[in-house]
Structures are given as structure tokens and as C-alpha cells.
Amino acid sequence: MAPKAIIAPSILSADFAQLGADCARTMDQGADWLHVDIMDGHFVPNITFGAPVVAKIRKHVDKPAAGLGRGTFDCHMMISEPKKWVKEFQKAGCDLYCFHYEAAFSSAAESPEAKTDEKTNPKDLIRYIHGLGLLAGIALKPATGVEVLTELLESSDPKERPDMVLIMTVEPGFGGQKFMASELPKVQALREKYPDLNIEVDGGLGPGTIDQAADAGANVIVAGSAVFGAKDPAEVISLLRTTVDSRSEKL
């Protein structure tokens, strides 16, 4: 059986004029986590917001009582130098720091203003994130093969293993894109090999695509416009959860 469903609405689709209230309302409507998209205009062509905004909305949503619990801020770091920002987002209230594999061979500096010629790597970055008391996630763009994660997921040291893997089902950078079913074999391969792994999918998820994602074995579902743009967001969240949980019993 796969892990239970976790529904993580993406606040990129929320009303930024009342972001804190929208976040709180979404949690009241049944969300488990909030997916917080951080984009720097370098790793992806779009720019969203930074740690100060995360700190503000954290005041509207209670911190989780336990790891991966309700209220988790799942910060998806679409940035070119992820190690530089771990401490800033920890201070802001991030719970799960999810960096991109493709960006993890970058500066080993530990703050935005620091400079060094040393480079980090995915294993060292996961260890660093865990050392600061955060959960660590690792994300893959559509062009990146899932086999790059084997060394991490099978590390003998739990501090080097990610707590979650994110498979992008769109090209990262913009909300509202069409779901790429071509990425689901990655999810299926991970679920077959790692039955207890939290596997997140992000991009184009909603009532019309959730069956495919759930059948492949995804249990952490990111949905932006499908939730925030719905007439009844609570109903959509419930549908996503029920679909995933009904499939997980068969996996």
C-alpha cells in the first residue's frame, strides 16, 4: 500500500491581494499542506516571491505538529543556487525544502551574500537541509531521468535520503499548464521500487487528470487553479484525496 494521500494546493493560484486569508481558508477546506512555489527568474523564467512573503503567510497557518503533518509548507525551490537560501526559508517557516536536482550542482555558499568557489551536490544538500531541522525534497524536470535518484534513495545514511520526490508533470515556471502524462512512468517506477516513498506530482493536476496520477502511484498532489479556481474548493480537495486513497490500497 502506498502512503496516504496528501493534498497540497499551490498558492501560486491564490489571490495575492489576500494571500494569508486565502491560505488559511484553503486549510479549512481540507488541504493537508500548502505548496509554495519559489521562482528566481534564473532557473526558471518567472519570478514569484521570497522568504519575507513566506514568513507573513506562516502567521495564518499553524506549524505542523509532526514531520509531514497538516500545515506543512512545502517550498518548491525553482532557483539556481538552492543552498544559499535554506537558512532564510527555515527562518521564514518552511517545513519541507524541495530543491531541483538540476540546480544542485551549484554554489556551496550558505547565505545569499556569501561567495565561494566550492560546489554542492544533491547528497550534500540533503544532508545540509536535514542538519537544519527541515525535511528535504528533490524535484526532477521532465527532461531528467528518474535513475539519477537511485544513489540518494538507496543511501545507507538516512540523512542523505530525501523525504519526498517531486516529479514535474509540466515544465516548471508557470501555473496553468497542460498535464504531461508522459512523466507518469517515472512515478510508476519509483512506486514499484520504493513503496513507502512520498511521491509528489505537480503540474496540470485536477479532477480530469487525478486518475492517471493516482494509478501511477503518486500520493502527494499539487493542484493550483483546480482548487483555487473551483466553485467548491473543498469538494475538489475531497475528490483528489478519495481518488488517491482508493488507488493506494491496490498498489
Tell me the C-alpha to C-alpha distance, in Å, between residue 78 and each of 171, 214, 244, 246.
Answer: 11, 25, 26, 31
Sheet holding 96-100, edge to edge: 6-9, 220-223, 198-202, 164-168, 135-140, 96-100, 72-78, 33-39
Q: What is the DSSP string of the chain?
A: -PPPPEEEEBGGGS-GGGHHHHHHHHHHTT-SEEEEEEEBSSSSS-B---HHHHHHHHTTSPPPSSTT-TTEEEEEEE-S-GGGGHHHHHHHT-SEEEEEGGG-SSB--SSTT---S-B--HHHHHHHHHHTT-EEEEEE-TTS-GGGGHHHHT-SSGGGS-SEEEEESS-TT-SSPPP-GGGHHHHHHHHHH-TT-EEEEESS-STTTHHHHHHHT--EEEESHHHHTSSSHHHHHHHHHHHHHHHHTT-
| Catalytic annotation, residues | 37, 202
